[in-house]
Structure formats: structure tokens, C-alpha cells
Structure 1
Amino acid sequence: MTRVESNNTAGSPRPGTGRGGLAKGASVEAVIVTGLSGAGRGTAARVLEDLGWYVTDNLPPELIGRMVELGASAEPPIHRLALVMDVRSRFFTGDLSVVTEQLRALGVPTRVLFLEASDDVLIRRFGFARRRHPLQSESADGTLSAGIAAERVRLSAVKAAADLVIDTTELSIHQLHRKLEEAYGGGAATTLQLTVQSFGFKYGVPLDADMVLDVRFLPNPHWIPELREHTGQETVVSEYVLSRPGADDYLRTCHHLVDLTMNGYRQEGKRYMTVAVGCTGGKHRSVAIAEALGELIGADIGAGVADVVRVVHRDLGRE
């Protein structure tokens, strides 16, 4: 999660800003993430960060306006700000009116997300994590149940004023991920960023690969003198590799397999995937197949299959 650190919390606004509003042309929106401890605020913060929101955790209310102003004038500017607020902070008393009024005065559209869960589930989650509830020591008998009950009372007004309340009792992490993407993703929930990476097996399989394809069954151009010094990025080599028996069938099968896997990744809330294509040295066959596979998948972008397709060659040019 992105943490906000500042050595200068005082002083006047930057030129073009003011306490009564943002710079002309600035476009900033905010979401306040709050709710019961153990209900999934940390997960929500990570999802929002993946969706492009700048996340701050328990920023004092007095600094929120300054944070918005600084973000709007930053390079690049911060257009979407997520503020995580909960009872761990001595600054948060359960009253969001000060924060929301300050943001409205700056002309910032603000939504409030409230996360909750049943007592049984919260108790089980705290048991798994082996943590104390932040209000447990303040309760009359010092029990976890009493701490949860006290927090429910303290945050009842916040829940009533929330724009979106999500009960995570029956939700898996992936289901919560999808709900948050639908609410705050701005359409990004259906996209995935794919990297197709060629490599040489003799240098090791990429550690970050989600799928590994082995094209060493194809004839190696290294043993053809007129092709040895060329690479799979050059037409003379790529045409040779792709014309070998089985190459076209293998390429199209891999394309279908990658497409199926990406669909599954999106269903699970994953937004990044790396496909590694390997040959012996990472110079000829893997490079040609990676380039061809990238072109096939790139043609699917218009259909919403992927947002970005990158083709990279890890070992090209390596002796």
C-alpha cells in the first residue's frame, strides 16, 4: 500500500490552488475506505491501488485538503485518491463530516465505502491473524467480542451515510476484488496486461512466468550457417521457424490456450500475466514464436481480450 510521508505539512498552497478549491482544470475524485476491523479494508486498499488509485492510510483529517491540492498539482497529477480511515487512528472518531465537508469545499466528488462482516467471521479472522482488536482493551471485559461490538456502535453513523456497503462475510478475496473493480475500476475490470517473453533454457526459466512454452521441438536455425548470425526478429529466421512442420498448429494452439487462461485470470481478479516462450539460447525459435504470438493476441485487443500486450526478449544478444 502506498504510504504518505510529508516533512512539510504547513505553508501556503502551491500557485494556482487555494483552500477554497483546486487549480483550474484539475480533476480529482476521492473514495473514503472505512468499516469494521477485519472486514477487508487492507484488501480493498490493495485492489484500489491496482486500479490506479493513490492510497493513503489514516491520514489526519487536517492534512487531507493539503494532500488533494498537492496531488492535483503533482507531475503526473493524482486524479483518484483513496483515503483509508479506521478506529486504529486517534484522528478518526467515527465522524466523517469534517472530511467530506473539506473535500466538497475543494470541489472533489467523494464516495464512502464501508466494509462489514458478521461477528463470527470477524472473530475467526482475528483468530487466524493472532491479532488483538483495536478496541478490545477499551471494552468493559477486554474480550474480542466486546471490542467488535464497541466498533459497530462507533461506526454506525458512518455505515448509515456510506455510498456503498459491502458485507464480506461470504465473500472470497477474489469476489471482493470483482465487486470493487465494478464499483471503482472505471471499466478496467475486463482488461489484463500480458507480457510475452522469449528466453533461453540454458540461462534458466524466468521466475515470474505464469505459463512456459517450450519450442525446442522445432529445428534450430543455429545449425544453418546462413541463419546462425540472424535472430528471430528478422524475416529470414521467422519465416524459416514458422514454416516448419507443426509450427503453425503449435502457435495457434498456444494462442487459444493463452486466451482461455487470460479469461480465467480476469475471473479471479488478476490483471497481469507473463507467458514465457523458450528455446535453447533464446535467439531464434523462441523469439520468432514470441513475436508471432504477440501479434495474434494483439489483434484481440479490440475485442477486449487484453489491454496491453508487450513482447520482450530476455536473452536476445546474450552470448
Structure 2
Amino acid sequence: MNRVRKAIIPAAGLGTRFLPATKAMPKEMLPIVDKPTIQYIVEEAIESGIEDIIIVTGKGKRAIEDHFDHAFELEQTLLEKEKFALLEKVQASSNLVDIHYIRQKEPRGLGHAVWCARNFVGNEPFAVLLGDDIVQAETPCLRQLINEYEKTLSSVIGVMKVDDAETHRYGVIDPLAQDERRYQVRQFVEKPKPGTSPSNLAIIGRYILTPEIFMFLDRQEIGAGGEIQLTDAIQKLNEIQRVFAYEFEGKRYDVGEKLGFIETTIEFALKNEEIKDGLLEYMAEKLKEYRL
């Protein structure tokens, strides 16, 4: 059995929901308290047993590479000033795992971004993690999917239940049969029109895929939004080999849109002992103001 050793993290999007902040800064580098969102994704991959990561970047994303590289002048300054705790935090991001980079030269969709990493993957199963979703779980979300892959030797897609009114924002599954948290899938549907969704089980940013997916991504077929959609390729893969969905355990944070990003920042800040008490006092004062 081929182990899942490699992961693709697409990070070539334009980040238009966060303009003008993302005009010069990659949205993946926007911090949740004091850590960029993409570092949470990389750490989840490592905690799940991933050995090699490729980040698919685009124009203006150099800051991502710099973040996971050594910053010699900064590290030396912190060392000389004996700021060892800060030094440890700075060095942690550059000592995580082997990270490679490839550029998606034009924004043609998630399916195309994954296709760009085909030579890195080769002929083995691989993971895909999207940076818009942070998942906090006792067993890392990706590890849960890898466990299911090892049982089934089939592609496994992470899903969670969403409100019926929100299904049009996601790829969703049409479940055929259920075995606890694992679903056999009749069909994968990308962003169904309101009122037409076959279920409320939405695809959420975590995938284990067999290399046969590239047979369909190679076709460069245009789907919803005029882009090459990964969900469309998964559906075609499902027609020739089993593709399961797994309703993962844990809490998902949507950091790909403004309100979700702010909510995530607040929740993570409340878990930070250094600032928790001050933040609670501030929030209490603001609640009093808004009640007037």
C-alpha cells in the first residue's frame, strides 16, 4: 500500500474578499492573532504524517516562501538581545518540513492549481488542504481522512453538514450509503443552485486523492465560474473508482471571508493566556456600549 506522504496546498488565489489588504499581502499570510493562516494548514499536514508539501503560489505570493525560510538577520538580532522565546517562534516556521513551491501562472481554478503539482505528486496518493479552512480537532482532520484511505485504499473527501441555505456556496455530495461517518457517494455536485442540493453535506477543504484524478484534470475542462473545478474531476473519478466522503470530527473555522476570519481571530485570542483577560474586558465594555 502506498502511504500518503505528499500534500498540495493551493495558495494562488487573488484574495479579493480581503482587498485592499491583499493587494500587496497574500491572504494566506493574514494573521490569526500572531500566526499566518497558512501556517495552521502546514502544521495540520505535518501532524497528520505528511513528509513533503508543495505550495502552489501565484504572482505576489513571495511572502509565503519568505515566511517558511530562515530570516538570518532577524534571528541573529533576537539571539543577541536574548529574546529566546521569540527566536523559538520565528525559527519554528522554517524548521517544520520540506516545503516546495510551484507557480500557477494564471488563476484558472482549484482543479488547475492541483494539476500544476502533478509532477511533484507522481504516481501515488496525495493530500490537498485548502487555506480557507482551519480545523481544530483532537485527531487532525487530515489524519482522519488518511485513516479512512488506509481502510479503503480509495479517495476520501472531507465533508461537514452546513445550513441548507448555504449549500450553494460549496461542492456537496449526493450520498448513496452511510457507514457511521463514511459515505458512499452517488454524485459530487459543485455549487448547486439554491433549492437543488442533494444534501447538506458540503465539501470542506480536505482531500485524499488517488493519482488517477490527473487523468481528468489533464483534460482542462471548464466548469462552474468559468474555471477548472476539482469537484468536477472528483465526480469523473467517482465514475471509474470509489470515492468516499468522510464527515470529519472537529470544529471548522472559515477564514476565507471577513466575518469568519474575525470570529476565528476572536476565538483563538480567547485561547491565548497572554491576551485573554484583556480581550474579555474589552468585549464586555463594547457590549455595554451597543446595548445603549
TM range (shorter): under 0.3
What is the TM-score with the length of structure 1 in the denominator?
0.23
TM-score (norm 2): 0.24
